[in-house]
Structures are given as C-alpha cells and as structure tokens.
Homo-oligomer: A and B are copies of this chain.
Amino acid sequence: MMGKYVFGVDVGGTTVKLGLFDIEGNLLDKWEIPTRKENGGELILADTAESIKAKIAEKDILKKDVVGVGLGAPGPIDGEGTVYGAVNLGWGTFSIRDTLAELLELPVKAGNDANVAALGEMWKGGGQGCKNLIAVTLGTGVGGGIIVNGEILTGAVGAGGEIGHMHVEDNETERCGCGNTGCLEEYASATGIVRLAARALHSCEEPSVLRDVPEEKLSAKKVFDAVKDGDGLAVKIAEQFGEYLGKGLGVVASIINPEIIVIGGGVSKAGKILFEYISPYFYKTVFRGSSNVKFALATLGNDAGIYGAARLVLE
C-alpha cells in the first residue's frame, strides 16, 4: 500500500458522514454534511467530492498519499460499485464508483451501507480478528451484512445479506416495508418490538408497567427497561423477539458458518441482556457444525459505516 490516508463516506438520508483515516484504521478526523436529495440526489456525490477536496487542502495532504475513497449508501450496490436505485436518496441506477472517481481523480469503491458497516465492525469493532461474520443492525428496520473470508457477501445484484427480509412467520397479516409479509424485520426491529408490545398489551389483561405508557410512546427501550425491572409481560415480549431473532440467526449461521454474530443498532443499547433472549433459540436450532458461533455487541455505533467504507478501499 503506497498511500497514507483513506476516506470513508457513509451516505444517509439526512447527512453524509465522512471520516479521514490512516491506513492502519485510526480515525484522524470526522465530520458531516447535509444530504441534498433534490433533483434525484444528483448533488450528493458532488457535495461529497467537494468536502473531501476541502479536507485534503485543509490538512495539507498530498493527493498521492490518498489511497482512495470508500462509500456506503442505502440501496443494492454490486461489487463494481453500481447502485440499482436508492429510494431514500432519490438515486436511480448508475455507477457510484465511476462518478465519484471522476470527480475526485482518486480510486473509489462503494457498497451497501449495512454491508459496509459489517465490514467496519470486523475491522475495528465488535468482530475484530474474525474473517467470517454476520452483522445485524436492529434499528427502525433490521439491516444485515455478511462477511465471508474477509470480504462482503455482495450477491449477484448487491442484495446479499438481507437478513431483515428473511421470511420467518407464515401467520402475519401486516405487510413489511419490502412488500412481503412475515419478514424478520417485522419482529426484531425497534418498530417490530413496539408492534409485538402493542399486540401483547391488547391480547391479555396481565398487569404491566408498559400499560402506563401511552401507546405512541411505546419503544424498544421502554420494553427492555421493563424487562430489566422484572415486568412479566415485558419478559414475554422479549421472549417473542428472542425466538424470532434467535431462530432466524440460527438459519443464517447454519448457511454462513461464521465465527461471530455482531448485534448493533438502537435496540442493542439494551446491552447483553438481548443475548439471554436470543441465545437459547439460536443454539437450539443452529446446525451443530456452527454451534461454536459467538455473539458480541457492535462497538462502533454510527461510525461503523465510515470505518467499513474506508476498509473497502484497503481490501
């Protein structure tokens, strides 16, 4: 590796996060710019390029010392850096790699944001030292990223690792955002946990501190806080969550045979107590050859994307 620096970019619906790293993976600087989504998001990469150029100038970095720029964005992105539509950004189908490389005259790589975050957690987060890893982000949705032998499992058209949309329940009537019914995301995301809680509260009379919470204020945090206080109904909700996620991850692990499963996102702020509900169902159902898989919490938080994006360039 000839250069000294690498940039990692994580494009979100509201802000673009940027990081300047040395090639050992030390974060030297990080900052954000707004995501300008007008006109099909055509300004996003131009703004990103300007911001990187300004940082290069500000830091007196020689361009020849920059190895390249990695970028993660929400949408299917193939191994060549072509995005096949990113609804949240207004993007259609085009080559992120070629567009940004032309603007910056630097090597560029791009990948799906959840996949790139998984790479970040492997490099410098909860999965350090592993080469085969499953990362799950339990937020508004359930994001998934899979690393196989040190590299992102991208898939044929960039749709690899979509753990949140694996079918886990036949008897579901409400639709997932993806259009199907019974996706893991409908039970294991923050939104899904609230849904399970609302159903539990309506389907029985059991007393619970959650009954004191106005329904629109129910949250995954409130459910797990109640679990920690020993609330019986909250524990039942956590059991349901754990059964769906534990069995789902058991299937994924039987197929991928990872060393570790890293759990992040807002729901993971509940901490290791999550594993108490996930693990029993996981180890009961996973294929024996993968039964030595470990669980860990993600450690990079919102920075996983910029770390992973930077790592993309160093592969």
| Residues of chain A at the chain B interface (Cβ within 8 Å) | 76, 79, 130-132, 144, 146, 148-149, 151, 153-163, 165-167, 178-180, 182-183, 247, 250-252, 254-259, 284-290, 292
* A259→B166 contact, CB < 8 A: no
Alpha-carbon separation in the docked complex, A254 to B180 (Å): 12
- Across the interface, which residues of B come within 8 angstroms of A131, CB to CB? 156
| A and B contact pairs by CB, cutoff 8 A, 25 listed | A130-B156, A132-B155, A148-B155, A148-B160, A155-B256, A156-B259, A157-B289, A159-B257, A159-B290, A160-B255, A160-B256, A160-B257, A162-B255, A162-B287, A162-B289, A166-B251, A166-B254, A166-B287, A167-B247, A167-B254, A167-B286, A179-B288, A180-B285, A180-B288, A183-B287
| 15 further contact pairs, Cβ within 8 A, besides A149-B154, A156-B290 | A79-B149, A131-B156, A148-B155, A153-B153, A156-B259, A157-B292, A158-B289, A159-B257, A160-B256, A163-B254, A165-B254, A167-B285, A178-B287, A180-B284, A180-B288
Alpha-carbon separation in the docked complex, A292 to B76 (Å): 14
Alpha-carbon separation in the docked complex, A299 to B132 (Å): 31
Which residue of the partner chain B has the closest CB to A163?
B255
Which residue of the partner chain B has the closest CB to A84?
B289
> Chain A's interface: helix, strand, loop or mixed, by majority?
loop
Name, among A146, A149, A259, the residue most crowded by chain B CB atoms within 10 Å (CB to CB).
A149
* B163→A153 contact, CB < 8 A: no
| Closest CB in chain B relative to A118 CB, distance in Å | 13
- Across the interface, which residues of B come within 8 angstroms of A130, CB to CB? 156
* B76→A162 contact, CB < 8 A: no
Alpha-carbon separation in the docked complex, A180 to B283 (Å): 10
| Closest CB in chain B relative to A149 CB, distance in Å | 7
Alpha-carbon separation in the docked complex, A163 to B251 (Å): 9
| Closest CB in chain B relative to A176 CB, distance in Å | 10
Given contacts A247-B167, A287-B159, A290-B159, contact A146 B182 (CB under 8 A): no
| Closest CB in chain B relative to A209 CB, distance in Å | 30
* B167→A251 contact, CB < 8 A: yes
| Closest CB in chain B relative to A113 CB, distance in Å | 14
Which residue of the partner chain B has the closest CB to A179?
B288
Alpha-carbon separation in the docked complex, A163 to B287 (Å): 9
- Across the interface, which residues of B come within 8 angstroms of A166, CB to CB? 250-251, 254-255, 287
- Across the interface, which residues of B come within 8 angstroms of A256, CB to CB? 153, 155, 160, 255
* A258→B155 contact, CB < 8 A: yes
The 3 lowest CB-CB distance pairs between A and B, nearest first, are: A155-B257, A159-B289, A167-B285
- Across the interface, which residues of B come within 8 angstroms of A160, CB to CB? 148, 255-257
Alpha-carbon separation in the docked complex, A259 to B247 (Å): 26
Given contacts A153-B148, A155-B132, A167-B251, contact A178 B288 (CB under 8 A): yes
